[in-house]
Chain A
Amino acid sequence: MKLKKQKVISFRDYIRRMFIINAIIPVFCVTFVCMAIFIGLQYYSINITNIEANNKVSSVLQNTLDKYKQGVLELSRRSSLITQPIDADRLLTIRRTMKQMAASTGYSGELYILDGSFNQVLVDTSELPVFLSDGAYGGWGILREISNNPQRVTVMVEKDEENYLCIGSSIQKEGALIGYVIVLIPSDEFSVLLTKVSPQTIIADSNGWIYLSNSYEFTDALGRFDRSIEAADGFTKYNGRTYYMTGSAIENNLIRVYTVAEEGRSMAMFTMIILVVLFIFIAITIIVYNSSNRLARQSTSDIREIAEAFEQVKAGNLEKYIKTSSIEEFQKIGEAYNIMLDGLKENKELVERVAFAQVKQLESQFNPHFIFNTLDNIRFMAMIDTKASDKMIVALSSILRYSISNAQEEVTVSEDMMYTEYYLSILKIRFNRRFTYKTDIEEGIEDCLIPKLMIQPLIENSVKYGFVDRDSLSVSIKAYTEDDKLIFICKDDGIGMDEAQLEEIRSNISQPVNVSSHMGIYNVHRRIRLMYREGYGVWIDSKKNEGTELTLVLPKQAAKEQRDA
């Protein structure tokens, strides 16, 4: 079965992640969208307000200018204004025309008619503005502009006690300039207009000389509209503050209208709103994060217990039962699990008993073979060396007593080695010089526990199959630990076996029932397999005429304190 590879996360983390995804991300998105819409609307409304205000002022100004320009043009065509004295009827007509223009535009202008030498012909106010009254201004300002462009209607911003919008033209007779017609609109006239629009408004000429303004900002050292921002459009920084500027030009770019909305207050409010929204967002995030943690922990506690129980079983502990849950599904799982656990425990006990019985049966198989062989030897020895036969009997009886003592299933290495030595001494007496052995037990493993009579069958195997027609045999027994394994190697320099034999023994060992004559090795291997898990047992390796090596692998078990009964 091939599983799709994916990162495994706990159910709790999964639940928590779901909470976060379902709560925080939508909140984030909604907040983001709302703020974006808010910003957009804010800017849109500023822009619309500014454009409307600018259009209003511009169109009123342009309309007024157009009307007065028309009036000035008509007056300038009448050279009789200069050449003939103005009688009462003409004066009446002129005054009425001016009044009509004032009424139609809503802004009244002052009419001045001067002759070619700047003498007053007709004036609306007794006190003339300085730029009209004084001879010094003859070649200056509006009068110069009119003289330079006699055919045109000139529009200019002029300055005296207050600012004036000047609309003037020349009166000509036979191509010569004989007089001036000038209408002045004082800036006062439009100040009410500026209060009608909410943003600040500045009306200036093309060089920035201000005609009318209701703002105290944006002026340079000479009181002109600051040229650094004359082309600004949209958001503009000025003296560290942000403004929204809209500019437009009228009258062939001679007059400019700037509309400026200060961003200061709306910006501060906006910042506040962003901060509040941000705070709410952070608060929600923290709350959801914590509560998701708690909720995930609560809702997955049953799953966690089930998982833990399974984990225990995996480790071999069958004592962990699942507590009853308040959730129906989990309760069912728990109950079923507990029943299953009981079943498993019964099963395990059964298996253990069977194994134990088998082990005992295998152990008991050792006895007859050994006793037969040894008794045979004693009989022989008793004839030639009574002392040696006596020693053999003592050794045999010790081994027999040891083997039938059922009390201890496992013994220490040193104890087992002691009885192995008895066995070896019997063999030494039996074969005398033909048999040599040596033991090499690594320091520190004397107290490890092993099943009894594990080494003896290996030596027995060597003696039984090693001699055949050889004169002598030497056996070495080596014991050491490797990782958590206890390894015994029994090596002889006997006749060995060929590949076929070796293969036969190897396959025999793995069979549940012994079918060969190698009873000893088979029994040992079988016992180990029944007592421990896979990975332990006996491995055999051999070469014809070179010898056989038996490797016994057991789990390393330290002796329990006060284990001896």
Chain B
Amino acid sequence: MKSRFFVATIIVSLVLALGCVGFTLSFNKGTDNDVIDYEQLNIYSSHAVEFLSPIIAEFESRTGIRVNIKTGRTDDLLSKIEKRQNTDDVDIMWGGSLSVLRPYMNQFEEYSSVNEPYVCDEYNNVEGMLTRFVDVPSVIIVNLDLVGDVEIKGYEDLLNPKLRGKIAFCTSSASSSYHDHLINMLYAMGKGKPENGWGYVVDFCRNLNGQLYSASAVYQGVADGEFVAGLTFEEAAAKLLSEGENIEIVYMKEGVLSAPECICLVKDAPNMENGKAFIDFVTGYDAQRLIAQNLNRRSVRRDVEHSKYLIDKEKINIIYSDSELVSSMNDEWVQHFMRIYSENIDNYNWID
């Protein structure tokens, strides 16, 4: 009799509890958003978010393909691609200059974009895997407030003793601008023979001081007046100009190395067709024009004008490197530079 009463109590409480839970759960069902199976594209990129956002937004808006992006340092992303598993979703490697990407060429799929006929001859995808999409030459920027009467027209002028310790240069191996400037120096000062350029490098290191680990610290440092001159890349310099900084872009009179940046389709990309569509889009007229006009990079297309902050290419002493030699010697040169750098840096302690 009594036990029946308690069993009843327990049952009633269980029913009530379950009722409450069910009541709650029924609300959770609410309005199910339809999960649309979107087309996907996965990109690894070392570009800044401000650069990526407008291009990706437009691509998504035009194609309906959804772009997932993973940003990071070029070398990190490349090693991730090299070690990728079949399960890893990566279709596009977007970023890094030609000299950095070339050693990883076998990780990429051969693809020639539909825009290849519009691309200037020097930017043609001769390898098949390395589609050039912008050119970002190395430049020197000069803070006009600080430079005074010191004349800076090229690398030679950086050896001026008045500039000792006032030059910004990023020596992080992760930075493309470091690699590009080093190669540029060797070719420009070696008069086309990189092995002859090391004499200048020694002198340059003697005049250089302090080590900067990030490319942005270089141009930001010059703009903020921490340094008189800095070795950086054209896009960053143009951005500073567009922001109204009182700086000047110096194209080295000894020669400016053409350093195109590439976009590559990863080998066996899971979303191969979407990747191709993206490469076509990025090298297309609309995107190239936007990149040139608003994002301050030099287009690879003949039919696109550069930003008003940049000078015509004809006015620059463009030189070319042997890209295969550069690829094979890159590591050695970097190590050699670091040796020279550390041997000469010890003589000066002013930055401490």
B 297-347 contacts with A by CB, 8 A: none
Give every chain A residue within 8 A of B293 (Cβ-Cβ).
134-136
Q: Which of B21-29, B104-112, B180-188, B263-271 contacts A (4 or more CB under 8 A)?
A: B21-29
In contact, B13 and A29 (Cβ under 8 angstroms): yes
CB distance from A192 to the nearest CB of B (A): 26
Size bracket of the B interface:
35 or more
Is the CB of A71 closer than 8 A to any CB of chain B?
no
Q: Which of B53-61, B146-154, B222-230 contacts A (4 or more CB under 8 A)?
A: B53-61
Give every chain A residue within 8 A of B24 (Cβ-Cβ).
39-40, 43-44, 47
Is the CB of B125 closer than 8 A to any CB of chain A?
no
Is the CB of A26 closer than 8 A to any CB of chain B?
yes
Cα distance, A40 to B17, chains bound together (Å): 9
Q: From B13, which residue of chain A is reached at the shortest CB distance?
A: A29
B contacts with A: majority SS: helix
Cα distance, A29 to B70, chains bound together (Å): 53
Given A135-B293, A231-B33, A235-B28: A222 and B61 interface contact (C-beta under 8 Å): no
Give every chain B residue within 8 A of A36 (Cβ-Cβ).
16-17, 20-21
CB distance from B24 to the nearest CB of A (A): 4
Interface size of A by CB at 8 A reads: 45
Given A33-B13, A47-B28: A221 and B70 interface contact (C-beta under 8 Å): yes
Is the CB of B163 closer than 8 A to any CB of chain A?
no
Cα distance, A406 to B103, chains bound together (Å): 129
In contact, A247 and B13 (Cβ under 8 angstroms): no
Cα distance, A33 to B12, chains bound together (Å): 9
Cα distance, A235 to B57, chains bound together (Å): 29
CB distance from B310 to the nearest CB of A (A): 14
In contact, A29 and B53 (Cβ under 8 angstroms): no
In contact, A207 and B31 (Cβ under 8 angstroms): no
Give every chain B residue within 8 A of A144 (Cβ-Cβ).
62, 286
Give every chain B residue within 8 A of A18 (Cβ-Cβ).
2
Is the CB of B175 closer than 8 A to any CB of chain A?
no
Instruction: Report which residue of A36, A43, A234 has the largest number of chain B beta carbons within 10 angstroms of its beta carbon.
Output: A36
Cα distance, A156 to B52, chains bound together (Å): 19
In contact, A207 and B49 (Cβ under 8 angstroms): no
In contact, B31 and A233 (Cβ under 8 angstroms): yes
Give every chain B residue within 8 A of A223 (Cβ-Cβ).
49, 53
Is the CB of A264 closer than 8 A to any CB of chain B?
no
Is the CB of A64 closer than 8 A to any CB of chain B?
no
Is the CB of B211 closer than 8 A to any CB of chain A?
no
Cα distance, A135 to B286, chains bound together (Å): 10
Per-residue contact bits, chain A 16-32, to B (CB 8 Å; 1 contact, 0 not): 00100100011001101
In contact, B23 and A40 (Cβ under 8 angstroms): yes
Give every chain A residue within 8 A of B28 (Cβ-Cβ).
43, 47, 233-235
New contact pairs (16) apart from A134-B294, A145-B61, CB-CB < 8 Å: A25-B6, A25-B10, A29-B9, A37-B20, A39-B20, A40-B20, A44-B27, A136-B290, A140-B58, A207-B57, A221-B70, A223-B49, A223-B53, A230-B33, A231-B35, A233-B31
Binding site for A on B (CB under 8 A): 2-3, 6, 9-10, 12-14, 16-17, 20-21, 23-24, 27-35, 49, 52-54, 56-58, 60-62, 66, 68-71, 285-286, 289-290, 292-294
Question: What would be 8 A-B contacts, judged by CB atoms less than 8 Å apart?
Answer: A21-B3, A33-B16, A36-B16, A40-B24, A47-B24, A141-B58, A222-B49, A230-B33
